[in-house]
Each structure stands twice: as structure tokens, then as C-alpha cells.
């Protein structure tokens, strides 16, 4: 199955000049969504993972489905102020300002081996922050997985410390 064909391009969203990659069309097709989760499960079934870490919000969709399929736990990385217990946090740069992501401080330990899941690698800031949080908690990051990578934004440059896998590379807007 060609997954890129299942993703809709939305011009000028969220602002003029941006070609938004809308994964909701892939999610809406049961066979395409199942195919994606099956690809992930096959990739990680023998990896000895103990948890899946998903990044808000679309990383939750793929990450939770994968964790369920593998029969292991799911750990969310959320935007600042959304988790109810004690957290650790990382700030990262956006095009116009700064954002913060958090994880529960007791969510992972040094005995955990994880995959970090998100939908997209763009500039790499969110993924880098999430990886640093997982590293701080002492867990072993087996791999970082994303459905799409916008290679023209060079986000992978921020992720050189970790193994990164993107199913689909997009070379231009």
C-alpha cells in the first residue's frame, strides 16, 4: 500500500505558503490505518520494547494503537500544563517563539526500552525535546518513528543522537 497516496495536501494551512500534510484521510481509511499499525508492530515486535512514547497529539493516535497491538504501556508527552502529576519539561524553539513539552517524572525508568512516535518530522524541535525528556528519565530509546519527514526542513539534523525512521520522505512543500 502506498501510504503517501492516503495523505491529503491542504494548501495555505495554517497560513499562506504552507502545504499541510493531513493524515486524517489515512486514519479515516480503516485498511490504511491498520496497514500502518501492522507495519509498526512488525518493525518492533522483536525489539524488546517495554513502552511506547507518543507525542501530543497525533503521536498519540499511532503510539497508543501500537502499544495496544504490542501489549505494552503507552506514555504521553504533552504540551505544558496538561499532565496532572509531577513532570519534567523541555522548551524548544518555534518559528515565532517557544513551546514546552512535559512527561510525568515517574513515567519511565532505566529499565525501560522505548520507541518514540510522532506523525511528522518538520524542524525537529518537538522530537528533540521529547527525546531529551526520555533520556533524562534514563530509558533506552530504541528508535524514533514518524510517518512523514519533511526533509527540506532538515529536522533530522537535531536528532542525530538517536536512531530515526520515517516511513515517507517528502522532499518539497
- Residue 93 is among the residues annotated as catalytic for this protein: no
Question: Which pLDDT score, from 0 to 100, does residue 15 have?
Answer: 87
Name the active-site residue from 58, 78, 90, 156: 58
The verdict on residue 33 lying in a domain is yes
Span 101-121, average pLDDT: 98
Radius of gyration over every alpha carbon of the chain, rounded to an integer in angstroms: 16
The verdict on residue 60 lying in a domain is yes
Question: Which pLDDT score, from 0 to 100, does residue 173 have?
Answer: 67
For residue 105, the domain's CATH number is 3.40.50.2020
**Rounded distance between C-alpha atoms, residue 77 and residue 57, angstroms:** 9
The percent of residues above 90 in pLDDT, for the chain, comes to: 92
The answer to whether residue 37 scores a pLDDT higher than 80 is yes
Name the active-site residue from 5, 43, 78, 95: 95
**Rounded distance between C-alpha atoms, residue 81 and residue 93, angstroms:** 18
Across the chain, where does the E strand assignment appear?
8-11, 19-22, 51-55, 73-79, 87-94, 97-104, 113-121, 140-150, 164-170
| pTM metric for this prediction | 0.96
Span 26-32, average pLDDT: 98
The verdict on residue 7 lying in a domain is no
The verdict on residue 111 lying in a domain is yes
The verdict on residue 141 lying in a domain is yes
Span 19-38, average pLDDT: 97
Range of the domain at 56: 18-170
**Rounded distance between C-alpha atoms, residue 151 and residue 100, angstroms:** 23
Span 16-39, average pLDDT: 95
Span 115-138, average pLDDT: 97
pLDDT digits (tens, 9 = 90+) for 81-99: 999 999 999 999 876 789 9
Torsion angle of alpha carbons 18, 24, 27, 29, nearest 10°? -100
pLDDT digits (tens, 9 = 90+) for 139-173: 999 999 999 999 999 999 999 999 999 999 999 76
- Residue 56 is among the residues annotated as catalytic for this protein: no
The verdict on residue 31 lying in a domain is yes
Query: How many structural domains are present in the chain?
Result: 1
The verdict on residue 74 lying in a domain is yes
The verdict on residue 110 lying in a domain is yes
Amino acid at each position: 500500500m502506498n501510504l503517501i497516496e492516503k495523505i491529503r495536501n491542504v494548501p495555505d494551512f495554517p497560513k499562506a505558503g504552507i502545504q499541510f500534510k493531513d493524515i486524517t484521510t489515512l486514519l479515516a481509511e480503516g485498511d490504511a490505518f491498520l496497514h500502518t499499525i501492522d507495519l509498526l508492530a512488525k518493525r518492533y515486535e522483536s525489539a524488546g520494547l517495554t513502552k511506547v512514547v507518543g507525542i501530543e497529539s497525533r503521536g498519540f493516535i499511532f503510539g497508543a494503537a501500537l502499544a495496544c497491538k504490542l501489549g505494552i504501556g503507552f506514555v504521553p508527552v504533552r504540551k505544558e500544563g496538561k499532565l496532572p502529576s509531577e513532570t519534567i519539561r523541555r522548551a524548544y524553539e518555534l518559528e515565532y517563539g517557544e513551546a514546552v513539552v512535559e512527561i510525568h517524572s515517574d513515567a519511565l525508568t532505566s529499565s525501560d526500552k522505548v520507541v518514540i512516535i510522532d506523525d511528522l518530522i518538520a524542524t525537529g524541535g518537538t522530537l528533540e525535546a521529547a527525546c531529551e525528556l526520555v533520556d533524562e528519565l534514563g530509558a533506552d530509546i530504541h528508535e524514533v518513528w514518524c510517518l512523514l519527514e519533511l526533509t527540506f526542513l532538515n529536522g533530522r539534523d537535531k536528532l542525530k543522537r538517536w536512531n530515526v525512521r520515517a516511513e515517507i520522505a517528502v522532499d518539497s512543500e
